[in-house]
Amino acid sequence: MGARYKVLVVDDSALMRKYLRQMLETQEDFEVYTARDGEDALRRIQEVDPDVVSLDINMPVMDGLTCLSHIMTESPRPVVMVSSLTEKGALATFEALELGAVDYLAKPDGTVSLQIKDQADELIRKVRAALGAKRRPRRSSGERVHPPPERLRKPLAAPEPAERAPEGLVLIGVSTGGPRTLEEILPDLPADFPLPALVAQHMPGHFTRVFAERLDRRCALRVKEIRGPSLLEAGTVWIARGDADVVLSRRRKGLVALGVPADERCLWHPSVDRMVRSALEHVPADRLIAVELTGMGDDGAEAMAEVHRRGGRTVAESEDTAVVFGMPKELIERGGADKVLPCHRIARQLVQWAYEGSGTAEAAKG
């Protein structure tokens, strides 16, 4: 018999503990334990030393965020948060990811979710991904930069080319570990970054608006969620709406991003693959910069490899910093990555490419 992994399920609802336990116990290599609140969880961690923890956010006695802070300080290990699909739940989830949680599962209908059993496959995928995830140290307070009011900050000095690059677009695909990774990269782009950026982050629809607003407060660039047809302008990062996909279209005023119903043929949404392939239909490949960040699976890898083959520029996050080295690894193995970089060096590379004035792919890759 192979290795067995201990999973601790923490939830104040006996019914939720039962459901989550039953879902996880379908896996022969999972040994599942439970705890009823944060205090009980800390005791159980000392007793059974779980490999991964599933942690509810809203609990009496000690809530999930307080428990998480204790876990990360006293006995760090992978944690998957379980939160409600509400604005409050989204805010708490992003705080948990900032504290060090690997991922989250959103309850579809409130604190006690009778529909949670429909998410068994997703829960199992996330727990398995968490088992192999790495913890990335946060930047020190001296390294982390928060933009002052009026978006005056220019964290990375822009080169001074004779002319700026022609019309282009940055495409970013990311999944597990993505919120923290994007918060490492996007705030380091200057306010006058000359290209628009489009981000497909696998995330529920109730979360992407809150995430865009959170990034907007931290970035020199404007960050917005795609709600209707959105003109792609320099100085703006567009976050694809969760539980849907994003495609591009040419309008009289220019290139527009559109939210469209999720394609059921794609496993993850917003689909990175669909976003990149749509961009290739409307923008010359040598004007595209495609970035594949942390995440399980292979969403976007083949499409970004096609960008590379057609003369575009591509970056894969390196294994050193990727929380889950799935999506970037797939791009690298397809021979589609011009650069393989840790997340803290990606913004600098984007600035370099964006400001190169020749407009030729060969010069840009040099």
- Claim to verify: residue 69 and residue 122 sit in the same structural domain: yes
Q: Which of 62, 97, 131 is the last residue of a domain?
A: 131
Q: Catalytic annotation on 51?
A: no
Q: What would the mean pLDDT of 293-311 be, rounded to a whole number?
A: 97
Q: What would the mean pLDDT of 285-294 be, rounded to a whole number?
A: 97
Q: What would the mean pLDDT of 322-328 be, rounded to a whole number?
A: 96
Inform me whether the pLDDT recorded for 187 exceeds 50: yes
Average pLDDT, rounded, for the chain:
88
Greater confidence (86 vs 45) lies with 45
- Claim to verify: residue 345 and residue 203 sit in the same structural domain: yes
Inform me whether the pLDDT recorded for 95 exceeds 90: yes
- Claim to verify: residue 105 and residue 195 sit in the same structural domain: no
Q: Catalytic annotation on 206?
A: no
Establish if 117 belongs to a structural domain. yes
Q: Could you report the per-residue pLDDT of 211-237, keeping only the tens digit for each?
A: 999 999 999 999 999 999 999 999 999
- Claim to verify: residue 75 and residue 180 sit in the same structural domain: no
Q: What would the mean pLDDT of 64-70 be, rounded to a whole number?
A: 96
Establish if 120 belongs to a structural domain. yes
Domain that holds residue 28: 5-131
Name the amino acid, one letter, at 248: L
Establish if 310 belongs to a structural domain. yes
Q: Compute the half-sphere exposure of residue 35: CA atoms within 13 Å on the CB side of its CA.
A: 29
- Claim to verify: residue 232 and residue 123 sit in the same structural domain: no
pLDDT confidence of residue 360: 34
Greater confidence (318 vs 251) lies with 318
Establish if 146 belongs to a structural domain. no
- Claim to verify: residue 117 and residue 165 sit in the same structural domain: no
pLDDT confidence of residue 300: 97
Greater confidence (286 vs 152) lies with 286
Establish if 144 belongs to a structural domain. no
- Claim to verify: residue 299 and residue 176 sit in the same structural domain: yes
**Least confident stretch, 113-117, 260-264, 321-325:** 113-117
Residue 179's domain is classified under what CATH number? 3.40.50.180
For 185, the enclosing helix (H) or strand (E) is: helix 178-185
- Claim to verify: residue 293 and residue 234 sit in the same structural domain: yes
Inform me whether the pLDDT recorded for 114 exceeds 70: no
Q: What would the mean pLDDT of 186-215 be, rounded to a whole number?
A: 95
Q: Catalytic annotation on 358?
A: no
Which is the catalytic residue, given 54, 83, 113, 175? 175
Q: Which residues pair with 248 in a beta bridge?
A: 257
pLDDT confidence of residue 357: 43
**What percentage of the chain has pLDDT greater than the value 90?**
75
Establish if 136 belongs to a structural domain. no
Greater confidence (357 vs 299) lies with 299
Q: Which of 131, 146, 171 is the last residue of a domain?
A: 131
- Whole-model pTM: value is 0.86
Handedness of CA 37, 40, 46, 47 (dihedral sign): negative
d(CA 348, CA 354) in angstroms, rounded, equals 10
Inform me whether the pLDDT recorded for 32 exceeds 90: yes
Domain count, the chain: 2
Q: Is 167 exposed, middle or buried (0-12, 13-18, 19+ CB in 10 A)?
A: middle
Establish if 140 belongs to a structural domain. no
DSSP 138: P
Q: What would the mean pLDDT of 190-196 be, rounded to a whole number?
A: 95
Establish if 270 belongs to a structural domain. yes
- Claim to verify: residue 315 and residue 176 sit in the same structural domain: yes
Residue 93's domain is classified under what CATH number? 3.40.50.2300
Q: Of how many residues is the chain composed?
A: 366
- Claim to verify: residue 126 and residue 213 sit in the same structural domain: no
- Claim to verify: residue 53 and residue 174 sit in the same structural domain: no
- Claim to verify: residue 197 and residue 277 sit in the same structural domain: yes
Which is the catalytic residue, given 37, 202, 230, 269? 202
Q: Which residues pair with 7 in a beta bridge?
A: 32, 52
DSSP 244: E
- For 313, the token pair is 């520029």
Q: Could you report the per-residue pLDDT of 234-271, keeping only the tens digit for each?
A: 999 999 999 999 999 999 888 999 999 999 888 899 99
First to last CA, the chain: 51
Q: Could you report the per-residue pLDDT of 132-168, keeping only the tens digit for each?
A: 887 665 554 344 443 443 444 445 554 444 344 447 9
**What percentage of the chain has pLDDT greater than the value 70?**
85
Instruction: Determine how many CB atoms are found less than 10 A away from the CB of residue 318.
Output: 19
